[in-house]
Amino acid sequence: MIYLTLKLLEFKYQKQKESFANFLVIEEPEAHIHTHIQKTLFDRLNFDDTQIIYSTHSTHISEVNNVVNINILGRQDGRCEVFQPSAGLDPIQIGNIQRYLDAVRSNLLFAKSVVLVEGDAEEILIPILIKKVFGLSLDELGISLINIRSTGFENVAVLFHNERIRKRCAIITDLDRAFIDTTKDIHDSDDEAAAKKKALGSQIAGLRREAALKELCDGNPWLTAHFADHTFEVDFVSAGNISTVVSVLSEVYKDCGTIATSKMELESGDIARFGTRVLTMARYAGKGWFAIILGRMITPDTVIPDYILDAIFQAHIPVSIQTWARVLDYRVSVLAASQLHASGDIDAMRAQIRRYHRGEIDFAGVRAEMLQAFPADGINTILASF
């Protein structure tokens, strides 16, 4: 790493090296050092006549560094590439990014790929969904999930561009389409009128957000946007997870009558009723806490909404043979643990996965084998889209 950094230094500063009397290169200064000391060391270690180069994986050091001075080294197709996050940005954009990149968010500078979300529910539940359904963590897929909260996607996503960080970034957000009738009625109560006005306003804002993000992504091979039709909670129920939400009713409400009414609404099949109820539950418990409660009930049979799957697989392209083999092996292990399938069927499928891993059959072949052996397993729906 020191050699590589020095070669980069020689390339970048060959016309400026007379400006510095000395060069100091420090490799991995974060090793065995407390986070406070890391940041203090970086802040204090500077000399007027010395160019100092750090090689680091520490988000605490990158947090206190000026983004203008950061170079990111990455490996692509067997070669080393250098990315400069601030290249081509104006001072205002650079300042915004600099203020945004704290120790948690700086993780996006080190990531192989990034998924940006703007809500606590997505931040909490997407990693759980991926782990439970695929048997792999986002970290194993090389994906960092970053909650931008109210920062605005445009202010962060601008980093991922041919001129700056050439890594994939997928944006996940809500369209907030109204799922209730927003037509004004003179017989509406004040509460009904207010609910319709709010729903219509959110829908208009969602359309504007969609247009802005599509324009941002247009022509950028590193950036994609993925939209929930309504909101995460509503689309989670719509995807086929009614029973999961019903299972946490007693943790949200204590009144038996409210629990019974909520169960009927969630199971009604009417989006106006189940959508209103699940959002009421999330607001009542607090969206973050509701997500934590819901997270305990996620299983391998939980259905991941399509827009989330699209975002994950856009960030993780291409999906390797090794990755699919691990996913399939995990799904077969789950099926074996359920004891609903003959051991011979399990062993036969595992043999097919090994053949796929060795390159003896292709993806279409192992997908067909999985569908034939276990047609009811939810992974088949996901495999069918590849």
Render pLDDT for 299-356 as a digit per residue (tens, 0 to 9): 999 999 999 999 999 999 889 999 999 999 999 999 999 988 999 999 999 999 999 9
Predicted TM-score (pTM) of this structure: 0.83
Q: How confident is the model at residue 205 (pLDDT cuts 50, 70, 90)?
A: very high
Summarize pLDDT for 183-192 with one digit per residue, the tens.
988 888 988 8
Number of continuous H segments (helices) and E segments (strands) in the chain: 19, 8
Summarize pLDDT for 328-339 with one digit per residue, the tens.
999 999 999 998
Question: What is the per-residue pLDDT for 355?
Answer: 97
Summarize pLDDT for 91-108 with one digit per residue, the tens.
888 888 877 776 556 777
- Phi and psi angles of residue 60, each rounded to the nearest 5 degrees, phi first: -70, -35
pLDDT of residue 63 exceeding 80, the answer is no
Summarize pLDDT for 259-276 with one digit per residue, the tens.
999 999 999 999 999 999
For residue 319, the 8-state DSSP code is P
The domain locations on the chain are 1-65, 146-313, 318-383
Pairwise CA distance, residues 214 & 230, whole Å? 17
Summarize pLDDT for 124-183 with one digit per residue, the tens.
999 999 999 999 999 999 999 999 887 789 888 999 999 998 999 999 999 999 999 889
Question: What is the per-residue pLDDT for 44?
Answer: 65
Question: What is the per-residue pLDDT for 98?
Answer: 78
pLDDT of residue 233 exceeding 80, the answer is yes
Q: How confident is the model at residue 36 (pLDDT cuts 50, 70, 90)?
A: low
Token reading at 135? 């048997």
Question: What is the per-residue pLDDT for 133?
Answer: 97
